[in-house]
Chains A and B, each alone.
Chain A
Amino acid sequence: MDNASAAADPGGTPAVARPVGSVRAALLVVEGLWAWYRRNWRATVVSSVVQPVLYLLALGFGFGSQVRPGEATQGLPYLAYLAPALLVAGAVQNAAGESTHPVLSSFKWARTYWGIIATPISPGQLVAGQLLWIALRLLTSGAAYLVVAALFGALTGPGVLLSLVFAVLAGMAFSAPLVAYSASVRDEGQGFNAVFRFVVVPMTLFAGTYFPVSQLPVWVWPLAWVTPLWHGTELARAAAFESMSPLPTLGHLAYLLAVLAVGVLLTRRQFTRRLLV
């Protein structure tokens, strides 16, 4: 390696740079995002942790006080019925937030992705790091929510820890295709409003978070079944209430993993296409 001697910075100490392995590269991207987060975490606490907690308070306690436990709530008090579902809904909403403007901005306004690919890190490694970072954010926000929910006495047992895993999986199954979309956006991101209005909000309202999908007209059911949120909610409730059965569990898991895989592939393609022109 002759670069260390040839290259120089006036009065500087030579730094030996080298390409790193893919896993390490992805972790370096996560590290870079973490450096940002350490300075800016305050701005995300409200939407990622406070929001689900407030929903739990208002709808679990407030609205729940008007609900009599019955078949629709699986025989549970509404608060207990709602708590694991809000974990998943929160993860999906966080995923939506993390996968839209921050990604577009890194391409378009801050242009930090362009800075990163000028280093030995490749677009594929960048994608891995970015998605891993989102998953970590979902995991920590979900964990924080669970702590608060437990303090409120809204949790039914340790099964919610498994619910947390399912929540992150559902969140990522929603995030990956959305990151791919965000990477394809060339304008100022006006389409994100439509995504939130016509996908995220209806999903959180109709995909089984607050009431069973079966209470909706039959023609709406397939729409709910398509969403990662519904699969995640089914899994999370089953885990929390310790009512898991193998076949549905496998089915939901398979669906979420398939959507995630497709999303990751699409994201890789979009990132490569946009960054390596």
Chain B
Amino acid sequence: MTAADSLLVHASGLVKRFGDVEAVRGIDVGVRRGEAFGFLGPNGAGKSSTMRMIACVSPRSAGELRVLGMDPQRDGPRIRARLGVVPQQDTLDNELTVRQNLQVYGRYFGLSRDTVRRKAVELMEFAQLSDRAEDQVEPLSGGMKRRLTIARSLVNDPELLLLDEPTIGLDPQARHLLWDRLYQLRHAGVTLILTTHYMDEAEQLCDRLVVMDGGRIVAEGSPAELIARYSTREVLELRFAPGHQRDALPVVATLADRVEVLPDRLLLYTADGEASLAAVHERDVRPASTLIRRSTLEDVFLRLTGRSLVD
């Protein structure tokens, strides 16, 4: 009971196959109560398949999975009653009003009419949609629809909120507003599991995350741990006229833990960017411009999953 209590989601050797294609190839994941957990990975890495299995709408092909201490195969409805789901594509009813979307959805959870009426008011407030309550959903902006989808996923006061690419296609203002709402939820003790392509989003929101690639987990840890483990503290970027970066490569190769060659620049992964830059100048390499920055999750991500397109 204690294990089930602290681990809201527990997967071991979890596999999802579609015909011959193995989308998820045996992953082990444990999500603790109250944390914000992220799945990172390129398209086709198996994130969404995993999320759908956790949401109890996709039967697993092999392995073990417990959600809220129960088996999704057997207790799907009981688990779903305590989950909130924000799917990648909105599933709002475009021909209903904002308020009706919340009320109708709440009723699917067996909530009383009084409760859904009250919840709808609270959630519209929460999602800053109160002044659009009686508007039909279809003409709303992408940001508003996304906010409504998130508000709707909270109608049953879920213990666990699953967000699949929650801020995809949103402008920066809308993203920050959404993040703000997600912080509030986390603060209130809701466990969050999210997938994202945006590394800044993962760094902002996640306590812990896994990087998936080709259906497997290739790294796991907090954003800081991952940066420490798979990257250096700083990155020195040396920019050249396209093509000339290769001439400098042999000269600077020994100045960093790792050097990456891009079409117009070299990336030197190093603990101390200033020192490395001084060394570069000493060796008489004259790049067109230079930049020293902190390592980000994006560096980790690209290192782990490669720079080439996956699709």
Contacts and interface: CB of A to CB of B under 8 A. Distances in A.
Interface of A: 3-4, 6-20, 24, 28-29, 31-32, 35-36, 39-40, 110-122, 275-277
Interface stretch (B110-118, B168-176, B226-234, B293-301): B110-118
27 contacts: A4-B157, A6-B33, A7-B157, A7-B159, A8-B157, A8-B189, A9-B123, A9-B126, A10-B126, A11-B126, A13-B119, A15-B119, A15-B157, A16-B111, A17-B157, A18-B110, A19-B110, A28-B107, A32-B108, A35-B103, A36-B93, A39-B95, A113-B91, A115-B92, A119-B80, A120-B77, A275-B57
Contacts, number: 150
B81 A7 contact: no
B137 to A, nearest CB: 10
Q: Which 10 A-B pairs have the closest CB atoms?
A: A115-B91, A17-B156, A19-B77, A17-B109, A119-B108, A120-B77, A8-B188, A7-B157, A20-B110, A118-B85
A9 B189 CA distance: 9
Contacts of B159: 3, 6-7
- Give the most central of B108, B109, B157: most A CB within 10 Å: B108
Contact of B95 (A36, A113, A116, A122): A36
A150 to B, nearest CB: 33
B43 interface: no
Nearest to B100: A35
Nearest to A113: B91
Given A17-B111, A35-B104, 11 more contacts: A8-B157, A10-B185, A11-B122, A11-B126, A15-B106, A36-B96, A110-B93, A115-B87, A119-B80, A120-B77, A120-B78
B93 A112 contact: yes
A12 B111 CA distance: 15
A9 B188 contact: yes
Contacts of A116: 108
Contacts of A14: 157
Contacts of A3: 82, 157-159
B57 A117 contact: yes
A39 B78 CA distance: 32
Contacts of A12: 119, 122-123, 126, 154, 157
Contacts of B44: none
Nearest to A19: B77
A39 B94 CA distance: 11
B185 A15 contact: no
Nearest to A40: B95
Contacts of B91: 110-115, 118
B68 to A, nearest CB: 8
A10 B156 CA distance: 13
Contacts of B12: none
Contact of B110 (A4, A112, A120, A122): A120
Contacts of B118: 13
Given A15-B115, A15-B157, A36-B93, A277 B109 contact: no
B59 interface: yes
Interface residues of B, number: 54
B258 to A, nearest CB: 41
A118 B76 CA distance: 10
B190 interface: yes
A120 B193 CA distance: 19
A13 B93 contact: no
Interface string B12-45: 0000001000000000000001000000000000
B194 interface: no
B203 to A, nearest CB: 23
Contacts of A122: 76-77
Contact of B58 (A9, A11, A32, A277): A277
B184 interface: yes
B155 interface: yes
Contact of A31 (B76, B107, B152, B189): B107
A28 B106 CA distance: 10
A28 B110 contact: yes
A121 B77 contact: yes
- Give the most central of A3, A7, A24, A117: most B CB within 10 Å: A7
Given A13-B122, A15-B115, A118-B80, A7 B158 contact: yes
Nearest to A126: B108
Contacts of A111: 87, 89-91
A28 B47 CA distance: 31
B192 interface: no
A170 to B, nearest CB: 29
B115 A277 contact: no
A17 B112 CA distance: 9
Contacts of B82: 3, 7, 17
Interface in B115-150: 115, 118-119, 122-123, 126
Contacts of A39: 95-97, 100
Contacts of B156: 15, 17, 119
Contacts of A24: 110
A61 B262 CA distance: 81
B87 A114 contact: yes
B83 interface: yes
Given A35-B100, A39-B96, A276-B58, A19 B190 contact: no
B198 interface: no
A4 B122 CA distance: 16
